[in-house]
Each structure stands twice: as C-alpha cells, then as structure tokens.
C-alpha cells in the first residue's frame, strides 16, 4: 500500500515539484497581500514630491544630432568658472577641447592657465609638487582624494562630471532640471511629513532623488558668467549650456557615431533588399 503510493508519487514527481513551488508561492502571495493590508506602505516625501526631469532639447539629440560647438564652448566656460572648483573632469584631457573648436594654441593656454595644477614631484627633492597642465594631461582632480573632498564639502563628495549625463537617469535633462530646480521647501511637504524637513546644510531640490542635495545652488544670478559670443547668460541658458557640454564630455564620439550609424543603416538596407530579392528569386517556383 505504502510502496504503491510511493511509486505513484515518484511517477508524478514533476507534478509534486510543480505544486510545491506553486504552493510556496501562493503562501508567499498571501503573506504579501496580508502584509499590504495590515501595514500599507506609508507614503514618503520622496514619493510624493519628487519630480520627473523637465524636457530639454539639444542639438545632439536624435539620429541626426550634431553638437552645437558655440554652445559647448559656452558650457565649458560655465564649467570652468562655476563647477570646476569642486567637480573634476578626470576622464577628459585638455587636448580633447580641440573638438569644441579651440585651436592648439588656445588649448595650450587653457591648460597652462587652469586654476588647479597637475600633481607631480619636485625633480630635485622628490617631494610632491605641482606643475602647469599641458594639453596631453587630463583635467586635474578638484580634490586630492575623497577624504579631502568630504572635508571641504560638508561630508559630501562632489561627483566627477566626465560621465555624469550617462550616469544619471534622464541624462542632460536631469542635469538641467537639477541646476534650475532649487527652490524653498514647499510648506505642505513639511506639514505632511514633519520628519522630512530639509536638514541644515542641505538644499531642497525636487529633481534630486531624495529631495535634499548637498550642493548649494551653483547658478544663482543671471550674467554670472560673461559669454564671449554675446549670448545673454541667464540661469536657464547657463544650465542648458553646461548640460550640453556634459553630454559632450560623456560621449565625445557622438557625432562620429551618428554619421557612421546613418551610413551603416543605409548600407544594410540596400544589402537587405538585395538579399530579399535574391531569396525571392531563388525560391520563385518553389511553393512553401
């Protein structure tokens, strides 16, 4: 009796295993639903007040997108005069600036005059020293190490900006929204979530994932920088320009990629049409 039951179970082992997994899952389902009913998820300030990034249109968008070099130069100027004191650009080299339309001499001048120097050693004593940047150098770090960065920035590390538009959901639009999104904390937020009051030293920004960002508003007034091409430097304009610049730092080969892509797709379309023709030609007369 027992052995025949055992044999029956063995023959239908698959069904037993299937029912076991499904049964445990149903048990889990019940607990999940029960948990949801007994302890419904409390709304959080992040959930209620976080905003999706604003739309941003850039010349580099889309399959035909190319950089607007004037804008990149303006963005570089904003980076240099506003961001560079805290945020490094460690993957980009001064020589890369030639892509923005600067000539060799201008790049050399930018490198030499850069506020932060390259770490080096004193050739006589071997002690640490600094030297002027040369075009083949990458942009020097804003802080020697993370400890120094934290110490100088209220315990927050300013992220490196080389890849920032690829390293954040939303990319350039997120950067643009963040830079223009500083505001006073809404009264209803504090009313609804008294515990979520922006702590001392942080700044309320609804585009930042947890709403409170350590970075003080970097762009505070119109004409904070003086653009050489005469564009009026509104906060909005500066935020757009620096976002465009950071698209370039993250993806300097974007234009080549777009051009190569269009050529490749065109080539492949012709190839595919030809193979389709060849396929139909070979199969003509063969019913299938």
Least distance in angstroms from the C-beta of 128 to other proteins: 20
The answer to whether residue 186 forms part of the interface with other proteins (CB under 8 A) is no
- One residue of 6, 7, 9, 28 binding other proteins per CB under 8 A: 28
- One residue of 162, 177, 205, 212 binding other proteins per CB under 8 A: 162
Say if residues 247 and 171 touch (Cβ distance below 8 Å). Answer: yes
Please, which residue, 93 or 233, has the CB nearer to other proteins? 93
- One residue of 25, 109, 115, 132 binding other proteins per CB under 8 A: 25
Tokens representing 219 are: 């762009």
E-state strands within the chain: 118-121, 128-131, 203-204, 212-213
- One residue of 21, 85, 132, 228 binding other proteins per CB under 8 A: 21
- What angle (nearest 5°) sits at the alpha carbon of residue 60, between those of residues 59 and 62? 105
The answer to whether residue 34 forms part of the interface with other proteins (CB under 8 A) is no
Please, which residue, 35 or 101, has the CB nearer to other proteins? 35
Helix (H) or strand (E) holding 8: helix 2-11
- Rounded Cα distance between 135 and 92, Å, is 11
Coil, helix or strand at residue 207: coil
The answer to whether residue 121 forms part of the interface with other proteins (CB under 8 A) is no
- Rounded Cα distance between 155 and 146, Å, is 10
Is 87 labelled as part of a ligand binding site? Answer: yes
Shortest CA distance to 261 belongs to which of 56, 58, 62, 68?
62
- Rounded Cα distance between 254 and 66, Å, is 8
Write out the binding residues for heme c. Answer: 83, 86-87, 215
Q: Give residues in contact with other proteins (CB under 8 A).
A: 14-15, 17-19, 21-22, 24-29, 31-33, 35-36, 41, 63, 91, 93, 95-96, 135-136, 159, 162-163, 166-169, 171, 209, 250, 252-253, 256-258, 260-262, 264-265, 267-272, 274-279, 281-288
């Amino acid at each position: 009796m027992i052995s025949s039951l055992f044999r029956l179970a063995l023959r239908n082992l698959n069904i037993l295993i299937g029912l076991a997994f499904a049964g445990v899952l149903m048990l889990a389902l019940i607990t999940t639903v029960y948990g949801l009913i007994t302890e419904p998820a409390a709304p959080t300030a992040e959930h209620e007040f976080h905003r999706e990034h604003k739309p941003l249109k850039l010349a580099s968008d889309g399959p035909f997108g190319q950089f607007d070099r004037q804008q990149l130069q303006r963005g570089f100027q904003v980076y240099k005069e506003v961001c560079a004191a805290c945020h490094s650009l460690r993957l980009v080299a001064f020589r890369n600036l030639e892509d923005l339309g600067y000539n060799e001499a201008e790049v050399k001048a930018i490198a030499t005059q850069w506020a932060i120097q390259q770490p080096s050693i004193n050739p006589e004593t071997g002690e640490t020293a600094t030297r002027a940047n040369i075009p083949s150098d990458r942009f020097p770090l804003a802080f020697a190490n993370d400890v120094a960065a934290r110490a100088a920035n209220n315990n927050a590390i300013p992220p490196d900006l080389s890849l920032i538009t690829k390293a954040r959901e939303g990319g350039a639009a997120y950067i643009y929204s963040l830079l223009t999104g500083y505001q006073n904390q809404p009264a209803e937020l504090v009313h609804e979530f008294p515990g979520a009051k922006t702590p001392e030293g942080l700044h309320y920004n609804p585009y930042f994932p947890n709403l409170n960002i350590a970075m003080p508003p970097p762009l505070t007034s119109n004409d904070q920088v003086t653009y050489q091409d005469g564009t009026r430097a509104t906060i909005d304009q500066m935020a757009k320009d620096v976002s465009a610049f950071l698209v370039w730092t993250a993806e300097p080969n974007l234009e080549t990629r777009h051009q190569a892509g269009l050529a490749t797709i065109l080539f492949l379309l012709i190839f595919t049409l030809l193979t389709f023709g060849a396929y139909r030609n070979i199969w003509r007369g063969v019913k299938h």
